[in-house]
Amino acid sequence: MAWNEPGGNNKDPWGGGNRNNDGPPDLDEVLRKLQQKLNGLFGGKPSGGDDGRPGGSASFPWSLVLIVLAVVYGLWGFYQVDANESAVVLRLGKYHSTETAGLHWNPPLVDHVTKVNMTEVRTERTTGQMLTEDASIVDVVLQVQWHIDDAESFVLRVADPLKSLQEATDSALRHVVGSQTLNGVISQNRTQVAADTQERLQEYLDLYLTGIRVDVVNLTDAKAPREVQDAFDDVVRAREDEVRLQNEAQAYANQVIPVARGQAQRMIEEAEGYKSRIVESARGEAVRFEKLLTEYTRAPEVTRERLYLDAVQEVMQNTSKVMVDVEGGNNMMYLPLDKLAENSASSASQRPQISPQVVDEISQRVINQLRTEAANSRRSRDVR
């Protein structure tokens, strides 16, 4: 006969003893038994009625609640730090440690964990009107790219790192722009302005212990205020014309100066050659004069006549005029061969050409005739 059949005297397999009803086992009784076993494991007293049997007033399952809470608390303390992050741990409000990538556990409600992205590049933009060194106003737009370098300083040292970055950027930019001219900020020294701003900004951020590292500073725009933009455009065009004219002048100079230098070098070389030639000629003349002096000392008359003849020959050899001197006579005959040559050249097309031999023969006859006349003149003087 089954334990739950009518009329049976079997005990309840759930340990409930004899039951007055024939229904299934009581769920509350099963829970009470489970609670008794757990209380026994954790040192509690079994609950039951006055006679030590279950069935009395039930107590709340505190042990089970504590176990569940302990499990939840333990699981709550686990957290994951990614490869590009760092975690700043505060224990009871005081800095404890900085955790790197991996799985970590900290007691909840005791430790406070703040994760920061260490590799993300952020951008801060600053705009404003600033005064330059030459008392001009310029509109500047600046972009700063930065990342977190020190997680502890970024989280704990400064109350608002982003505001500190913005104010430090504005201060550094105004300092650098104030040491440059308007033309330098707008066109000529834009790269230098950005570099100087980055250097000064990093000094400020390190001084404030912000934990921020500046990567790049870009001067994206710099222009005159809108109210004077037209006048400034005229200045820019005039400056461009100036640069163009300077380039053209430089190109002309590059073309002319080498030629002038070449001519100057040629003249210098010619002067050096002339100097060498004159000096050597003078030295040769001096040596020749010394040798003539020696010969003149030995035979003065012969040397004097020879020098005279050489000088006359040197003077007369380049002239077209012929002077005929008759020995023993007082007259000198002049033959204008240059005029004769010009007349002969003008009438060469009408007269036959005279050979050089005929000219020599005529000259010789004239000379002989002159000598004869001179001899007769001397004899006549002797007779008288």
Task: Name the residue ranges covered by the structural domains of the chain.
Answer: 76-116, 121-225
pLDDT for the residue 341? 61
* pTM of the model as a whole: 0.48
The predicted pLDDT at position 136 comes to 84
Quote the CA–CA distance of 48 and 237 in Å, as a whole number.
Answer: 104
pLDDT digits (tens, 9 = 90+) for 169-216: 999 999 999 998 888 888 888 899 999 999 999 999 999 999 999 999
If you average pLDDT over residues 71-76, what whole number do you get?
Answer: 80
Residue-level length of the chain: 384
d(CA 43, CA 31): 18
Single-letter amino acid, residue 343: N
Within the chain, how many helices (H) and strands (E) appear?
A: 10, 10
Q: Which two tokens stand for residue 230?
A: 């037209």
pLDDT at 33 (0 to 100):
72
Q: What is the mean pLDDT of residues 328-341?
A: 60
Contact 222, 194 (CB under 8 A): no
pLDDT-based confidence at residue 15 (cuts at 50, 70, 90): very low
**Rounded Cα gap, residues 171 and 5, in angstroms:** 95
* 173 contacts: CB under 8 Å, gap ≥ 6: 126, 128, 130, 140, 142, 197, 201
May I ask the CATH class of domain 121-225? Answer: alpha beta
**Region 25-39: what's the mean pLDDT?**
66
Average pLDDT, whole number, for the chain? Answer: 78
Q: Is 131 helix (H, G, I), strand (E, B) or coil?
A: strand
C-alpha–C-alpha distance, residues 345 and 351, integer Å: 10
Residue 162 reports pLDDT greater than 80: yes
Distance CA 37, CA 152 (A): 50
Amino acid at 132: T
Least confident of 34-48, 260-274, 359-373: 34-48
pLDDT value of residue 53: 47
Question: Which of 301-310, 339-348, 359-368 has the largest mean confidence?
Answer: 301-310
Can you tell me which residue has the tokens 């760092």?
A: 86
CA distance 152 to 7: 79
> What span, in angstroms and rounded, lies between the C-alpha atoms of 147 and 342?
103
